[in-house]
Amino acid sequence: MSPDPSSDPSSRSGPSEKEGKETIAAIATPPGRGGIGIVRLSGPMAIEIAQILCCRTFKPRHATFSQICNREGELLDQGIILTFSAGSSFTGEPVAEFQGHGGPMVMRSILQAALELGARMARPGEFSERAFLNGRMDLAQAEAIADLIASGSQAAARGALRSLTGEFSTLVDSIAKNLLLLRVRVEAGIDFPEEPLKEEETTAQLADLVSLRAALAELLGKTRQGVRLGQGATVAIVGHPNVGKSSLLNALSGEDNAIVTAIPGTTRDLLKVDLELRGLPIRVIDTAGLRVTLDPVESEGVRRATVILPTADLVIVLEDLTVAEGEDRLDPRWLEGCSSILRVGNKLDLAPARQADVNISAHTGEGMEQLVDSILQHLEFEPDGSTFTARVRHVEALSRTDRHLEQAVQLLETKYGTEFVAEELRLAHDCLGEIAGRVTADRLLGEIFSTFCIGK
């Protein structure tokens, strides 16, 4: 019996030695109907199972048209079979792929036939996990596969590809290499304690640490950009009724997604639209006008708006330029818990600008470019064609690396002890190793690959 594919994989701590020797199988194409569906196998029996199901042998890396039967000889489908020998496949193991017709029942029948011949159902992300464990890619590259699949914009897809091809890992490895050279020099002082560290050597080591921290700071900035690019952002638009929130949503998206009328309280629920601002995937949320009302439907819309605001990466507070300044200011209590706020004056085509972060006309488009500039600035995203995608864990690892380097600087400056400096450098090196998987706990592997889709 194959394990239940719906069971929670997050409790797994990583593959056992036994699992690494098993042949795994999964449907690699999305659920539903399509012209082509793929069943993928990886492991020592993958090619043998393919030969049994097709009653023929295969030449690695050559596409072969064949009938596909179960072990009782019943015809299941016909299609293209591809095989890859160990060392030349995605996982580094023998791999077989059945590319048949994309009907759900067809794919399930081929998968079931493979399971009956000794394969087991793959866990989510297990193909990529084996590619990592077999040295076909590092951990950051493996994560980039999931980022590429989930990318919400062309810029995010390009950024994921840059990580997948090793751009991010190369930058991390460059810092790690220089850090290793510094560790060697520092630890040499521990091996020869009878020779006290000279002043010029201390100065050189401090200079190296300053240089390392500068390179790390630059990489940390790029990595934060990469996290934002990969995850996107949520922007909520709030304000009193009839200030133009729905008009602003339509102006940002370029489509009539929200109903716009002169009647206050038209928007009574959260309206979410996914769009792209200069490469950054953004979900914009139009909310009900914030006011105290006896209308139960509108009141529920207001309640939902106040619940969503603290979760947004940015809250645009829209104000009406046609009313007296201060009259349309929201009560600060509505905005409690909001992490970032951008005040925007609207209806610039009807009234003069006044003090705000940005003044616009959602109707004519005046000031919209400046608004987009401000949104990206508040989200700390700078459009850059060389940005790669990254994860929050990468930022955390780089931040811990810098803290250890900072501690090493302080120890060197106070001449506290070479062995303590060496320990901080070792810890910093380990933190860098976590990014590419040079130093990785099994628990972390389980958490990372459990977020992948089955079949990848």
pLDDT tens-digit series, residues 1-34 = 333 333 333 333 444 555 558 999 999 998 888 8
Confidence of residue 195 (pLDDT cuts 50, 70, 90): low
Q: With pLDDT > 70 as the criterion, what percentage of the chain qualifies? A: 85
- Average pLDDT over the chain, rounded to an integer: 85
Which is more confident, 352 or 2?
352
Say yes or no to pLDDT of 188 above 50. Answer: yes
Which is more confident, 323 or 96?
96
Mean pLDDT of 210-221: 95
Confidence of residue 305 (pLDDT cuts 50, 70, 90): confident
Contact status, residue 38 vs residue 47, Cβ threshold 8 Å: no
| Burial of residue 136, with CB atoms counted within 10 A of its CB: 0-12 exposed, 13-18 middle, 19 or more buried | middle
Can you give the pLDDT at residue 443?
Answer: 62
- The arrangement of strands across the sheet holding 95-102 comes to 64-69, 75-84, 95-102, 34-42, 24-27, 120-121
Say yes or no to pLDDT of 181 above 70. Answer: yes
Q: Helices (DSSP H) in 415-450: which residue ranges?
A: 418-436, 442-449
233-238 and 314-320 as β-strands: parallel, antiparallel, unpaired?
A: parallel
Mean pLDDT of 201-219: 92
Can you give the pLDDT at residue 264?
Answer: 44
Confidence of residue 299 (pLDDT cuts 50, 70, 90): low
CATH architecture of 232-378: 3-Layer(aba) Sandwich (3.40)
Say yes or no to pLDDT of 268 above 60. Answer: no
- pTM value is 0.76
280-286 and 271-277 as β-strands: parallel, antiparallel, unpaired?
A: antiparallel
Q: How far apart are CA 149 and CA 126, in angstroms?
A: 16
Q: What is the CATH superfamily name and number for domain 9-137?
A: Probable tRNA modification gtpase trme; domain 1 (3.30.1360.120)
Supply the DSSP symbol for 428.
H
CA nearest neighbour of 98 among 139, 146, 50: 50
On whether the 147-229+388-449 domain is CATH 1.10.3720.10, my answer is: no
Confidence of residue 271 (pLDDT cuts 50, 70, 90): confident
Q: Of 75-79, 232-236, 281-285, 448-452, which gets the smallest average pLDDT?
A: 448-452
Say yes or no to pLDDT of 294 above 60. Answer: no
Confidence of residue 324 (pLDDT cuts 50, 70, 90): confident
Can you give the pLDDT at residue 12?
Answer: 38
Q: State pLDDT tens for residues 396-445.
A: 999 999 999 999 999 988 877 788 999 999 999 999 999 988 765 566 66
CA nearest neighbour of 65 among 87, 98, 36: 98
Which is more confident, 340 or 438?
340
Residue at token pair 């590429």: 148
Is 235 in a helix, a strand, or coil? strand
Q: How far apart are CA 42 and CA 84, in angstroms?
A: 9
Q: How far apart are CA 140 and CA 391, in angstroms?
A: 9
Domain ranges of the chain: 9-137, 147-229+388-449, 232-378
Q: Of 66-70, 190-194, 225-229, which gets the smallest average pLDDT?
A: 190-194
Q: How far apart are CA 21 and CA 41, in angstroms?
A: 13
35-71 b/e with 16+ CB inside 10 Å = b? Answer: eebbbbbbbebbbbbbbbbbeeebeeeeeeebebbbe
Confidence of residue 79 (pLDDT cuts 50, 70, 90): very high
Assigned token pair, 40: 């993928």
